[in-house]
Amino acid sequence: MSYDNIFDASYKRVLETGTDGTDFFETFYQHFLDSSALISEQFLNTDMEKQRRMLKKSFYSLISFYASGAADNVLEKIAYKHSARELDIKPAFYDCWMDSLVATVHDYDPEFDNDVELAWRLVMSLGITYMKFKYDRC
Ligand code: HEM
C-alpha cells in the first residue's frame, strides 16, 4: 500500500475514535503544550477550544499541500501569522509540533506502526517545510 493510502486510512481511523469525549485535536494540544514550557507559555491566553477548531480546519490545507504541491490561501495566511512578523514561532518548534502529532496518532490509531508514523510525517512534511521557510520570508 502507498504511504498516501496508509495515511488516508489512519486519518479516517483517528477521527472515528475518541468516544470518551476527548477528541484527537484536544489530545494533540495536551501533548504539544506538555512538550515544552516555551511552547505552553505561548498559549497562556489562548481560547483552546477555538484553537482546536482552527487547527482542524488548517489540517485540510496541510494535507492538500501534499496532494496539490502548493499552499492554499489558508496556509499562506497561517504561515504569515506564525512568521517573525507576527507570532514569531521559531522553526525549531515545528519538530515538537510534528512529534506531538505522531504521539497523538499513536494514542488514537489502533493500527499504529512504523509505516503509519512515516506516512503522517511524509504527508505533513511539505506544509511544515513551507511554514518554516516562510518564517523570515513573509
Ligand atoms: C504546521 C503547524 C501549525 C499549524 C497548522 C498551526 C495552525 C494554527 C492556526 C490555524 C492558528 C490560528 C490562527 C488565527 O488565529 O488566525 C494558530 C495560532 C497559533 N499558533 Fe499555530 N500552527 C502550527 C504550528 C505552531 C507552532 C509550532 C507553534 C509554536 C508554539 C504555534 C503557536 C501558535 C500560537 C501561539 C498561536 C496563537 C494563539 C492565540 O491566538 O492565542 N503554532 N496556529
Whole-angstrom distance, CA of residue 10 vs CA of residue 102: 11
Whole-angstrom distance, CA of residue 41 vs CA of residue 37: 6
DSSP string, 75-120: HHHHHHHHSTTTT---TTHHHHHHHHHHHHHHHH-TT--HHHHHHH
Give the global pTM. Answer: 0.96
Topology adopted by domain 3-15+22-136: Globin-like (1.10.490)
- Top pLDDT among 20 and 131 is at 131
Atom of ligand 1 nearest to the CA of 59: 5
Whole-angstrom distance, CA of residue 104 vs CA of residue 17: 12
Ligand 1 center to residue 129 CA distance, Å? 15
pLDDT attached to residue 17: 77
pLDDT (tens digit per residue) in 64-89 = 999 999 999 999 999 999 999 999 99
Ligand 1 center to residue 45 CA distance, Å? 13
Answer yes or no: is pLDDT of 95 > 70: yes
**Average pLDDT over the chain, rounded to an integer:** 94
pLDDT, mean of residues 24-47: 96
